[in-house]
Every structure is written in structure tokens, then in C-alpha cells.
Amino acid sequence: MIYTVTFNPAIDYVIKVDNLTLGQVNRTTREYIFCGGKGINVSHLLANLGVDSVGLGFIAGFTGDVIESGAKELGFKPDFIRVREGMTRINVKVKSNEESEINGLGPVIHDDELEQMFKKLDELEDGDILVLAGSIPATLPSDVYERIMGRLQGKDIRIVVDATKDLLLNVLKYHPFLIKPNNHELGEMFDVVLKTNDEIVEYAKKLQEKGARNVLVSMAGDGAILITEEGEVHITPCPKGEVKNSVGAGDSMVAGFITGYLRSNGDYNEALKMGTAAGSATAFSEDVATGEKIMELYKTL
Ligand SMILES: Nc1ncnc2c1ncn2[C@@H]1O[C@H](COP(=O)(O)OP(=O)(O)O)[C@@H](O)[C@H]1O
Ligand SMILES: O=P(O)(O)OC[C@H]1O[C@](O)(COP(=O)(O)O)[C@@H](O)[C@@H]1O
């Protein structure tokens, strides 16, 4: 089974505003509300491709209820832990002359609630896939991903981590199967700005030296670079199209990659192709892409 963990789910409130002006009343011209958070987006896209998954994470308050009922509608099995303090966040994504995002803090997670999550994850079995994705609420210790991976050591579980900075760097010693920073996040980890593909490959390899197995660096409209555990470098451009909402494109890429990898029995070219099709299909959609849209793009690659 595939399990996704979203420590900090979100309702994504995506609004379009003409010429956003700070310090004034602005009015939206379009607005959308989606259930989001990185692991949830991964489970959503997997469902759209006909792949089953279980969505784990923490929810709270009335916004948490929306996430729980939304998950069922999106087609994956919710197994969230309801926490007692605070509420599931609402992340605001403003599309104007530029795109801006304001991501919330999320609820308070107490030790006993975190312990419940550890217990659920202890049940995972050989052959399962675990996706740890997104930020963690501010009240949680920053080594929480590390602790999860430490507990699962010794089991044959492929772990995918989509996180930034120390949250990601600190898990590399546990050899995650796949990590997916974007090119900016990769640069930030080493305090550099990466401009060329050669530089991106050089720094992605540094993450492998620290323990990552496969490193997938997404580059938005410029495609993606995969450095496999065998040291092969695959570079893929992405299809052209009209970008409608790139929120969730990275999560879709992760879900597409997993699907392509599983369906081809471990062919990294296929995994990258499916990941690219899924990422771009979502960028060209208002919401996480449908299976039809993904397969349409996949055929053009
Ligand atoms: N503007 C775009 N045009 C086409 N494809 C895109 C665009 N933005 C994202 N994608 C697709 O989604 C993938 C992930 O996007 P990216 O923005 O790099 O991830 P993240 O959301 O994690 O920052 C890209 O590698 C590409 O396949
Ligand atoms: O957990 P974080 O890092 O705050 O990110 C949460 C946000 O990321 C998203 O999952 C989108 O992520 P990507 O655009 O990287 O795919 C949104 O749905 C959500 O609002």
C-alpha cells in the first residue's frame, strides 16, 4: 500500500486579483477552494490515476472536517488523527501580476497525538511506500521526519521525502528512495543560486553523497532532472501549455513518478515521463490534474 503523510494539511484558497495593491481593498475576479497539503495532493493525484493510497496526517477544527470529507470525495482513504488545539490552516494563493502564497502555521500537535502517528506508522509492512511531504506545524520537533525514518529502518519500505532545508537534509542518512527538491530549494540547501543544468546535477549529487538514493530536481516550466541511484542522469523538458495554477505541480510530479515506477517495474525513464506528465498536467489545470489529462500529455513525451 502507498501511505502519504501530511503533517500540515491545508485548505488552499486560490484567488485571482487584477493588479493586487497592498494597503488597499482588492477584489477577486476568480476564486477556488481545494483540499491541499503536499501528501494530500499526492494521494489525490494517485487516485486520479487509479492508484490506491491511504492519507495520514493531523487535522483540527472545522477546516479539518473539510479535509476529511474532501479526501473521501477525492478517492483515497483518509486516516487522519484529529488533534485538540487549533485548526487546520487555510493557505492563500494569490494570482495577480505575480504569484504570491501565504501558508499558515497549522494546529498544535501534542506529544500524545504525535505518538499516535508513530504507532500508525509502526504498522507499515515490507513492500509499502511511504510519502512524507510538506512542512511540519511549528509546534513539532524539527527531527520528526528523522524519527519516523529511524523507526522504520530495517523494513523494506520505499520512503519518498518532499520537504525543504533541514527537514530534508536530516533524513538523508536514512537513504530515502526518492527526494524531490525544486531547483531553488536545492540551491537554498547549499546557499547557492543554481543557474545551469550542470550545476543542478553537481548539487543533486551532493545530496546523494549524503545518502539519498534517487534525486529528482523539478524546475517548473524548464522540466526536471533525475539522478538515479545508479548514477544515470535523465533530463526531461516539459510539455508546453497554458499554465492555469501551478500549486500542486510538484506533488503531482511525485505521484506520477511513483505511478510510472510501479507500473513499469522500476524503469526510471518511465517514472520520469509519468512524473513530468502529471506535474505539467496539473500546472495546466485549475486543480490537481485528471487522469485523462495526464495520459494525454504522457503520450506526447
Ligand atoms: N509552467 C509550467 N509549465 C509546464 N510544466 C510545469 C510548469 N510548472 C510546473 N510544471 C511541471 O511540474 C513539475 C514540478 O513543478 P515545480 O514548480 O518545479 O515543483 P514545485 O511545485 O515542487 O516547486 C515540473 O517539473 C513540470 O513538469
Ligand atoms: O507544507 P507546506 O510546505 O507549507 O506546503 C503546503 C502547500 O503546498 C501544496 O501542497 C502545493 O505544493 P507544490 O506546489 O510544491 O506541489 C499546497 O497544496 C499547500 O498549500
Terminal-to-terminal C-alpha distance of the chain:
28
Please give the ipTM for the structure prediction.
0.95
**Ligand 2, closest atom to CA 253?**
16
pLDDT of residue 67: 97
Mean pLDDT, the chain, as a whole number?
96
CA–CA separation, 14 and 244 (whole Å): 11
**Ligand 2, closest atom to CA 12?**
20
pLDDT of residue 142: 86
CA–CA separation, 280 and 295 (whole Å): 11
pLDDT of residue 279: 98
**Ligand 2, closest atom to CA 40?**
10
Helices 38-48, 61-74: crossing angle, 10 deg rounding: 20
pLDDT of residue 139: 86
Residue of minimum CA distance from atom 15 in ligand 2:
250
The single residue listed with the C-alpha cell 525543504 is 164
The single residue listed with the C-alpha cell 501558508 is 103
pLDDT of residue 138: 85
The candidate with the shortest Cα–Cα distance to 247, out of 54, 35, 19, is: 35
pLDDT in tens, 12-50: 999 999 999 999 999 999 999 999 999 999 999 999 999
Split at pLDDT 50, 70, 90, the class of 223 is very high
The candidate with the shortest Cα–Cα distance to 6, out of 141, 147, 158, 117, is: 117
| Residues within 6 Å of ligand 1 by CB | 182, 218-221, 223-224, 238, 243, 246, 249-250, 253, 276, 279-280, 283
Give the mutation target among 247, 276, 280, 287 for probing the ligand 2 site: most ligand atoms within 8 A of CB: 247
Residue among 12, 128, 162, 251 flagged as catalytic: 251
Residue 210 C-alpha cell reads as 549524503
pLDDT of residue 41: 97
Contact 193, 180 (CB under 8 A): no
Q: What are residue 107's phi and psi, to 5 degrees?
A: -75, 175
- Tell me the ligand closest to 248's alpha carbon: 2
Split at pLDDT 50, 70, 90, the class of 137 is confident
Edge-first strand order for the sheet with 214-218 is: 77-82, 53-59, 2-6, 129-133, 158-162, 178-179, 214-218, 224-227, 233-236
pLDDT of residue 270: 96
| Residues within 6 Å of ligand 2 by CB | 8, 10, 12, 36-38, 41, 91, 103, 134-135, 247-251
CA–CA separation, 261 and 242 (whole Å): 27
Q: What is the 3-state secondary structure (H, E, C) of 89-114?
A: EEEEEEECCCEEEECCCCCECCHHHH
Residue 76 C-alpha cell reads as 483515497
Tell me whether residue 251 is one of the annotated catalytic residues. yes
Q: What is the pTM of this model?
A: 0.95
The single residue listed with the C-alpha cell 483540499 is 35
Q: What share of the chain is helix, strand, coil (3-state, %, to 5)?
A: 40, 25, 35
